């Protein structure tokens, strides 16, 4: 069994795979839940990903360290990079791309990760990563409007049906952030679909469900995309190192 662990600032995502088949997927507030599973006898290989948190302490708690692979820019990847600064490419973006490839190999693929930041990543049908874009996520935009002004309130739970024409300060904030994001998301999707043929769009991230009914183009929503990508990279490295 393969174990994929994504350690975030707030939550840790844990997934078990039998080869490429996802057997279980949980989200925990405790990193130690993942470490306990990592020390289980049923786990053969472990892939760990962390965007910002120092994970050396947790790595030291894993009993058989030879089973561990930590995702970084030096790992072998199942795709080529056409990116000017590969050393700065975030491991979360790498994993999401690899997850999209697992679902749609040899396809023009646009991956949108709607989290703290929104990332747009495009890989072509020849399995060459071409780049993308990064912008502030929904929560970050609401927080910025609150923190960098004197009187604007913090919006923590925007409504589902938001009018473009706001009739109160709260409604205006919701309209500006949410409708602005919808326009941005649709623009990015339209750009790639106008430049490439048969683009498949895959969306993941904490805010993905909020926007799933608000986009005009067809897409696939996959909450486990990053975990699929971690396992894909792990499988690829195991195969190439065999």
Provide the annotated active-site residues.
92
Let me know: does 123 contact 100? Beta carbons within 8 Å. yes
Question: Helices (DSSP H) in the chain: which residue ranges?
Answer: 31-38, 56-59, 91-103, 138-147, 169-174, 180-195, 208-211, 225-241
| Those residues with Cβ within 8 angstroms of residue 176's Cβ, 6 or more apart along the chain or in another chain | 145, 166
How far is Cα 73 from Cα 86, in angstroms, rounded to an integer? 7
Mapped to the 3 state alphabet, what secondary structure does 167-235 carry? CCHHHHHHHHHHHHHHHHHHHHHHHHHHHCCCCEEEEECCCHHHHCCCCCCCCEECCCHHHHHHHHHHH
- Which structure tokens are listed for 239? 């195969």
- In a 13 Å sphere around the CA of 224, the CA atoms on its Cβ side amount to 17
Let me know: does 47 contact 37? Beta carbons within 8 Å. no
Let me know: does 100 contact 202? Beta carbons within 8 Å. yes
Strand-strand pairing, 21-28 and 12-18: antiparallel
Let me know: does 137 contact 116? Beta carbons within 8 Å. yes
Strand-strand pairing, 2-7 and 68-70: unpaired
């Amino acid at each position: 069994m393969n174990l994929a662990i994504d350690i975030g600032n707030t939550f840790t995502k844990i997934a078990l795979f039998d080869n490429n088949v996802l057997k279980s997927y949980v989200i925990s507030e405790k990193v130690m839940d993942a470490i306990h599973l990592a020390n289980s006898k049923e786990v053969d290989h472990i892939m760990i990903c962390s965007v910002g948190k120092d994970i050396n302490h947790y790595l030291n708690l894993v009993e058989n360290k030879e089973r561990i692979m930590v995702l970084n820019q030096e790992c072998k990847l199942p795709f080529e990079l056409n990116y000017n600064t590969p050393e700065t490419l975030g491991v979360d973006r790498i994993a999401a791309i690899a997850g999209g490839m697992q679902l749609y190999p040899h396809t023009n693929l646009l991956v949108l990760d709607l989290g703290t930041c929104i990332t747009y990543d495009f890989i072509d049908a020849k399995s060459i990563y071409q780049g993308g874009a990064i912008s502030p996520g929904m929560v970050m935009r609401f927080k910025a409007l609150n923190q960098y002004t004197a009187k604007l309130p913090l919006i923590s739970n925007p409504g589902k049906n938001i009018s473009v024409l706001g009739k109160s300060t709260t409604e205006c904030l919701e309209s500006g952030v949410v409708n602005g994001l919808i326009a941005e998301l649709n623009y990015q999707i339209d750009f790639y679909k106008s430049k490439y043929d048969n683009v498949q769009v895959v969306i993941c991230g904490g805010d993905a469900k909020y926007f799933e009914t608000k986009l005009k183009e067809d897409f696939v929503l996959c909450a486990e995309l990053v975990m699929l990508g971690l396992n894909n990279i792990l499988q690829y490295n195991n195969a190439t190192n065999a």
